[in-house]
Chains A and B, each alone.
Chain A
């Protein structure tokens, strides 16, 4: 089989798995198919990564293309897909036992999750910027149904805000795409083959009209930035990420907002080529700084565990934008590494948070004391995850934040670095206070002290392993992917 076929087969597999799930009713069969489908995706992503690392970018059908940038995001989606589907087995068992989800609606849940993963994969694999946008809106449609899946008042409110705000938001992204297409067609004096493709526009980027690309990039950052959760257009994020079913929260925070960032990075590369680095980097710095600053007070005063994690994602998307904005090899490399680190860690913490909320029957952290006695393994992982999220060594996020800080210093952005550091310190205190309160102390009698089952534990353990590993060392293969992706962005 030709490897280039993998480009369209990879999203086709979850789509087919999802469609066939609609025909099934058996709970066990659905769970097996869920895990098998995710493993298949991870396997195909791995094969693609090998191919790209040995022969360079692969493209197919004139609309799909995978370079190292895409490989990086594909690996994240593949890994999170597997971990989340393993954790879903146990989560779903509890959810059914508590009557939160009715057994006859299970198949819709699983089918939507796989549809959601398929749309994320297309987003990353699309060479055509129009397809990228269509898939991005597809992720909104599938995941909005998942956010409101429980059908309670809060879930529906969050789903509505999510779909209406991100749909209008990314329509700005479509307008930006249209303008870039117009600029490319104008530069070549007419429509040419692959005129909407990222790879062909990147090749002629210096010839694009800088005026229109500037306007286009503003539309793109506001548009895809809404979907990525960059402040001040993040207002839907804490609602949607906290109200969604837990495995979906993990995918939304871990993978989806990174896919939106992927869109921004593609246009950032084009804008760099057309009007120099300063304009797009300045805009990313602005949005990144606002995100970090705006998220901080909400993290401090938050008592709802999943909302806390939602606001925390706003902060980290801001940090990634700062890394891209500082620019240079160091900043870009750090931002890409942070994409992986935050994705893995945030998914881990969300999965454990879901387990804890199930055991205590509340989301208020003030009422969830003594998690260490209730579920020792999960509590230990939660503590590790929280320390990692707060940027403590020896965990992975410390490394990427350090790289980004150094990039900021060497680029001479002292004020921004100072504000960033101050916020990180405050957030560290707030986060450790909240989580410490939850992990230690005397547990309530009513808390469910049931045995910690293989699932969700194994799914979270897998993520924790990656988190710890990336804190100690960056594997050679990953380093090469990161370095080459950095080169693609910097041109």
Chain B
């Protein structure tokens, strides 16, 4: 695959990643947000494969495979399993109105592109628009977490944020060392399991969403 084609594909995938992020931000339903973050992980896997083909680095193919298995199948499955177990209302109650959230999101995307446009030659080290898209995804993930008071949506925001980091990491020359990527993904899975345990324990003892507890103050 030629470099020019790879750059164009990465830019298209970056745009699609941002689009799925907006779907998460705008979704009023928990399942939709979970499916959107799964779709995001599939796009991330495709990006890994594209970069693997462009650089001839087999590690990137492995990372692409792991990404799809873990982030597009395993983690969404875990989230859906927890949703069914705790049987909560599936509408998402935003803390900030969704319109305002989307306005913030637009600002963040502009800021991210502006920020990375200010960088000099070092931008060449990262393929296409992967740097601004990565920064935007991370900040938008935080926005999702801050604007919703539902444990599972906060987890979706966290995963989306981490997708942004992986996207940028893949696009750096040859990607990060394989062993590091695997370690990071292992942490993500273990962290998600512990979060799931906490959500289930609170649901079974006090019957509320863990993110709704606010007895600790001052």
Contact = CB atoms under 8 A, between A and B. Distances in A.
A145 B216 CA distance: 18
B124 interface: yes
B180 A131 contact: yes
A269 B190 CA distance: 31
A175 B215 contact: no
A171 B158 contact: yes
Interface string B181-218: 00110110011001101110110011000110111101
18 contacts: A134-B186, A144-B194, A151-B201, A153-B215, A157-B215, A160-B151, A160-B202, A164-B151, A164-B154, A171-B161, A174-B165, A175-B135, A178-B169, A182-B125, A182-B126, A185-B172, A196-B180, A301-B218
A178 B158 contact: no
B119 interface: yes
A120 to B, nearest CB: 15
Interface in A18-51: none
A148 B201 contact: yes
Interface in A299-330: 301-302, 307
B196 to A, nearest CB: 11
A100 to B, nearest CB: 16
B120, B161, B174, B187: residue with the most chain A Cβ atoms closer than 10 Å: B187
A298 B173 CA distance: 47
A161 B201 CA distance: 14
B119 A141 contact: no
Contacts of A175: 134-135, 138, 164-165, 168
A172 interface: yes
B194 A156 contact: no
A363 to B, nearest CB: 12
How extensive is the interface on chain B, given as a class?
35 or more
Interface of B, secondary structure class, is helix
Interface in B12-70: none
Contacts, number: 147
Dominant secondary structure at the A interface: helix
Interface string A127-139: 0101101100110
Contacts of A243: 216
A257 B138 CA distance: 24
Contact of B122 (A138, A145, A159, A209): A209
Q: Which of A158, A212, A215 has the most CB of B within 10 A?
A: A212
B136 to A, nearest CB: 12
A70 B218 CA distance: 35
A204 interface: no
A157 B120 contact: no
B200 to A, nearest CB: 10
A138 B187 contact: yes
A58 B177 CA distance: 23
A186 B124 contact: yes
Given A160-B202, A181-B172, A183-B122, A130 B191 contact: no
Contacts of A171: 138, 158, 161-162, 165
Contacts of B126: 182
